[in-house]
A and B are shown apart, each in its own frame.
Chain A
Amino acid sequence: AQSVTQPDIHITVSEGASLELRCNYSYGATPYLFWYVQSPGQGLQLLLKYFSGDTLVQGIKGFEAEFKRSQSSFNLRKPSVHWSDAAEYFCAVGAYGQNFVFGPGTRLSVLP
C-alpha cells in the first residue's frame, strides 16, 4: 500500500538554526514528491516539487529538498530558519494518473 511517513510530529528550532524535516514513502510507481506548508487556519501552499532529473530541488522561501531513491526519502531543508517559518509541513507523494498520499505533517516551532 502507498504510504508517507513523517517521523517527527513536532520539531522546535532556534531562529537562525538549520532545519531538516524528514519524509519517507512507500510507493509502487515512480513517485512525484511534494512539500507543502500550512499556517494556522490557512490552506496549504506548495513549497517545492520533484518529478524527475536533479535530485536536489529548490523551492520558495529558501527551502530545498533532496530525493534519495535508495532511502525512499525526500527530506526538506533550510539553512537558516526564520520565525515566520513556524507552521505545519506536509510531505505528499503522487504519480502520473494517481492521487496524492499526504503524510501526517510535522509542526515546526521557532524559538526567538
Chain B
Amino acid sequence: SQTIHQWPATLVQPVGSPLSLECTVEGTSNPNLYWYRQAAGRGLQLLFYSVGIGQISSEVPQNLSASRPQDRQFILSSKKLLLSDSGFYLCAWSQGLGQPQHFGDGTRLSIL
C-alpha cells in the first residue's frame, strides 16, 4: 500500500533563517506531488505541484520554492523565512490531476 511521510512534524525557526521540509511517498511510482499551506482557522492554499521529476508549478508568488530531485521526493524550501510563512504545511500525492489526493500528517511551522 502507499504511504506518505512528512518531516519534521513541528519546527520553530527565527525570521531570516532557511527552511527545508521534506516529503516522500512509498508504494507508487510517478505520483503527482503537492505542497499546501493552511493558516490558522483557514482553508488550504495550494503552493506548488509537480507532475514529474524536475517539473514544478507554482500557484502563488511567495518566498518559498519547491524541488523534486527524485520521483517520490518533494522538498519545500526558503532561503529567508518571513513571519508570514508561519502555518501548517501539508504534502499530498495523487495518481494524476483530478484524482483523489492523499495527505501526510503535516508540519507545524512557527516563525519567531
Residues of A participating in the B interface, judged by any CB pair closer than 8 Å: 32, 34, 36, 41-46, 49, 90, 92, 94-100, 102-105
Complex Cα gap A81–B108 (Å): 29
Scan residues 84-111 of chain B and give those whose CB is less than 8 A from a CB of chain A.
Answer: 88, 90, 92, 96-106, 108
Contact B103 A45 (CB under 8 A): yes
21 A–B contacts from the bound complex (CB under 8 Å):
A34-B100, A41-B106, A43-B92, A43-B104, A44-B92, A44-B101, A45-B103, A46-B101, A46-B102, A94-B99, A95-B98, A97-B97, A98-B97, A98-B98, A99-B49, A99-B59, A100-B46, A100-B101, A102-B44, A104-B42, A104-B43
Q: Which residues of A contact B100 (CB under 8 A)?
A: 34, 46, 49
Q: Which residues of B contact A49 (CB under 8 A)?
A: 100
Contact A41 B42 (CB under 8 A): no
Chain B, residues 56-99, CB within 8 Å of chain A (1/0): the string is: 00010000000000000000000000000000101010001111
Closest A-B pairs by Cβ, 8 of them? A43-B103, A104-B43, A94-B98, A44-B103, A102-B44, A43-B105, A96-B98, A97-B97
* Nearest CB in chain A to that of B102: its residue: A46
Complex Cα gap A96–B94 (Å): 12
Contact A42 B105 (CB under 8 A): yes
Contact A99 B43 (CB under 8 A): no
| Chain B nearest CB, measured from A91 CB (Å) | 10
Complex Cα gap A93–B96 (Å): 14
Complex Cα gap A95–B90 (Å): 21
Complex Cα gap A63–B108 (Å): 29
Complex Cα gap A98–B94 (Å): 12
Q: Which residues of A contact B106 (CB under 8 A)?
A: 41-43
Chain B, residues 29-66, CB within 8 Å of chain A (1/0): the string is: 00000000000001110100100000000010000000
Complex Cα gap A100–B59 (Å): 12
